[in-house]
């Protein structure tokens, strides 16, 4: 028996992530928004709808998060990116490790979040 999910179903989880208005570049994996703020080497990068796009890739739907740059206000090694609303942690992913230096820039490359069709 074949399995199927319409794009609207796959887009549902991605649409929740699209409500993120903050991105934190963190040292280690945060467990909630407060922890993301504590682990971040800079204040929040403000996100808006223009920072997200959804497209089809094979049998999956892919949410692309645009590249961002923020000025570091602490020196620490960062290796995770957290997407949050003003009150909740929505999504965390690893990122290439980099050393953030107080006063320097932290770059976050564009990245994809994939929602796959059922198998």
Express each pLDDT in 27-81 by its tens digit: 999 999 999 999 999 999 999 999 999 999 888 999 999 999 999 999 999 999 9
3-class secondary structure, 16? helix
For residues 13-28, give the mean pLDDT: 97
CB 57 within 8 A of CB 11: no
- In this structure, what are the phi and psi dihedrals at residue 102, rounded to the nearest 5 degrees? -50, 120
Beta strands per DSSP E along the chain:
22-26, 45-46, 52-57, 60-65, 68-71, 76-84, 89-100, 105-108, 111-116
| pTM score | 0.92
* Per-domain residue ranges of the chain: 7-116
């Amino acid at each position: 028996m074949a399995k199927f999910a319409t794009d609207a179903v796959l887009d549902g989880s991605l649409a929740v992530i699209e409500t993120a208005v903050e991105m934190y570049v963190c040292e280690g994996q945060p467990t909630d928004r407060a922890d993301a703020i504590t682990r971040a080497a800079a204040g929040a990068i403000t996100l808006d709808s223009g920072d997200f796009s959804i497209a089809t890739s094979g049998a999956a739907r892919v949410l692309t998060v645009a590249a961002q740059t923020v000025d570091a206000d602490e020196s620490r090694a960062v290796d995770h990116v957290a997407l949050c609303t003003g009150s909740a942690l929505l999504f965390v992913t690893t990122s290439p490790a980099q050393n953030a230096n107080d006063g320097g820039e932290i770059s976050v490359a564009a990245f994809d979040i994939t929602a796959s069709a059922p198998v």
